[in-house]
Amino acid sequence: MILNSTLIDTIAFDADDTLWRNEDIFIHAQDAFIHLLLAYHDESYIRSHLGEVQVKNLEHFGYGIKGFTLSMIETAIELTEGRITGNEIHEIIQLAKCMLASPVELLPNIKNVLEQLKGQYRLLVITKGDLLDQESKLARSGIADYFDAIEIVSEKTSTVYQQILQRHQIPVERFLMIGNSLKSDILPVLDLGAQALHVPYHSTWEHEQVNDEILSRYRNLPTLSDISQLMDWLKTPSLDNRRAV
């Protein structure tokens, strides 16, 4: 398949840490949680145990603040051997409520780029996480009207992307996915034969990171340092694409 940015007519964006800040909220809450448990264990042990519990619980609670909150509570119970108090559990719940109430802060240049894309491309949001939380953030973001469709999924795999493309009748060669996570936003889409652009965020959850062995299977992953570069990228096919053409 010849990939060429001039063929693209549908662009999908990840939401968290692509359209707006998100990981910072989790980091702040995690730090507060660790501080709460320092009387029981040292910071590194609390942090690593919480991470293990989060990953283990993904199949039960999925991604998002609610699942993260349940993982914090489970971690607190385990690390204190059940000695965690009702007041301390209440503090964890308050942390979650603060996370859910956090203002939606768009990343730089997002609105300007969407204004340029609207009308020229079909625009989608494809994001994973808690349905109510993601719907709330999108509604509060002020950018919902730029998008033609919203897809909130429990996981991002090549199969899930393929189902979305089929549902919206999008040819794979005309689809571009933009996101900050190589694991969720980029590699599954490339495996389908579609195009994907990596726009890194300054912090990525460990579970979303990809090791060098996996990355070595992919050549010249398209990356933008800032979303403002997107319009130029769309107008200029990559060197490999120019060679293919």
pLDDT digits (tens, 9 = 90+) for 107-118: 999 999 999 999
pLDDT at 6: 60
Instruction: Pick 23-101's CATH classification: 1.10.10.10, 1.10.150.240, 3.30.230.10, 1.10.240.10.
Output: 1.10.150.240
CA 204 from centroid of its chain's CA atoms = 9
pLDDT at 216: 73
User: Over the stretch 18-48, which tens digit does the pLDDT of each residue have?
Assistant: 999 999 999 999 999 999 999 999 999 999 9
CA 6 from centroid of its chain's CA atoms = 26
Distances in whole angstroms, Cα of residue 64 to Cα of each of 48, 179, 203: 18, 17, 16
pLDDT at 239: 43
Of the listed ranges 32-41, 56-65, 205-214, the one predicted with least confidence: 205-214
With a pLDDT cut of 90, the percent of the chain lying above it is: 78
CA 57 from centroid of its chain's CA atoms = 18
- Which long-range CB contacts under 8 A does 130-138 form with residues at least 24 apart? 130/62, 130/63, 130/64, 130/65, 130/66, 130/67, 133/64, 133/65, 133/66, 133/100, 134/15, 134/64, 136/100, 137/15, 137/20, 137/104, 138/15
- 227's CB contacts (< 8 A; 6+ apart) are 18, 107, 108, 109, 110, 113, 178, 199
**Which DSSP symbol is given to 107?**
P
Report d(CA 154, CA 62) in Å as an integer.
6
pLDDT at position 244 over 70? no
pLDDT at position 241 over 60? no
CA 123 from centroid of its chain's CA atoms = 17
- Both tokens assigned to 132: 């109510």
What backbone phi and psi angles, to 5 degrees, belong to 179? -170, 175
User: Over the stretch 150-196, which tens digit does the pLDDT of each residue have?
Assistant: 999 989 999 999 999 999 999 999 999 999 999 899 999 999 999 99
With a pLDDT cut of 70, the percent of the chain lying above it is: 91
Domain locations along the chain: 5-20+105-244, 23-101
User: Over the stretch 79-134, which tens digit does the pLDDT of each residue have?
Assistant: 999 999 999 999 999 999 999 999 999 999 999 999 999 999 999 999 998 898 99
pLDDT at position 242 over 50? no
Write down the pTM of the prediction: 0.86
Helical H segments across 80-154, by residue range: 86-101, 110-117, 131-141
Distances in whole angstroms, Cα of residue 6 to Cα of each of 76, 121, 230, 236, 245: 52, 11, 13, 8, 11
Question: Average pLDDT over the chain, rounded to whole?
Answer: 90
Homologous superfamily assigned to 5-20+105-244: HAD superfamily/HAD-like (3.40.50.1000)
CB 151 within 8 A of CB 13: no
